[in-house]
Amino acid sequence: MSRPFLKMNGLGNDFVVVEAQRGAAAPFRPTPAQVRAWADRAQGIGFDQLIAVEPSERGDAFMRIWNADGEEVSACGNAARCVGWLLMQAAGRDGAAIETRAGLLHAADAGDGQVTVDMGAPKLDWRDIPLAEPMDTARVELQVGPIDAPLLHTPGCVSMGNPHVVFFVPDAEAAPVREVGPLIERHPLFPEGVNVGFAEVQGPGRLRLKVFERGAGLTQACGTGACAALVAANRRGLAGRAAELVLDGGSLHIAWREADDHVLMTGPVAVEFTGTLP
């Protein structure tokens, strides 16, 4: 059975969204090879992540996520904004609850085409990232380059439902994202792989960020990566608890709320086109 899809993006981080709610003849469970073929930007549809919107007992819908390499993952912040917007449009409400493998997320209409998603509390224990061995996740013992003159060193690690490592760099535009990203993504320190962020602190309320996403490569934006970067920067005293995160595709506003430790992400969503999966 062919399935219609909606192509959407959050700051250029793009998704194919498939409605897989009740009534479908069979569950939507594509093989890794199918996902890779559809994700191919030359011969397929092209996307960073494939999203299925499924029934949920806990929320308005369950969001299932596959990276472009075919691996199913637990969280995607920009996709949560897109799915939240779809659910709010369908129900005519200004809020929606989205169940994911990482937990329940709450989306809200922030006005002016913006959606806010409560991403929950960051996980900061080394077991929760997870790391292969005990470490202080605010300053992880990891470096790239010569021992006496490392190119990158002492990153922070944060889980936003998926694992992130954040290197602080003097110039994000000059950061070796494509060269270092693949090396760190599957480094032995990260048994489940890791999303690799390169953050330039431009002030207490502004960070420039590039992210090499696990299973997707360098993307235009990474919502959970932006959340992780703000948390990692704040833990090091490099930023406040709220900041503008400037990514290649645009800006997100991230706030790490003191009252309940939750991270709130606000940004736009866009609909590109509709189609049918081949």
Catalytic residues: 76, 222
Cα–Cα dist 239/232, whole Å = 9
In angstroms, the CA 7 to CA 39 distance is 12
Contact 228, 245 (CB under 8 A): no
CB-based contact 267:250 (threshold 8 Å): yes
CA dihedral of 254, 256, 259, 264, whole degrees rounded to 10: 40
Closest C-alpha to 265, from 254, 277, 249: 254
H-helix segments, 66-218 = 77-91, 177-185
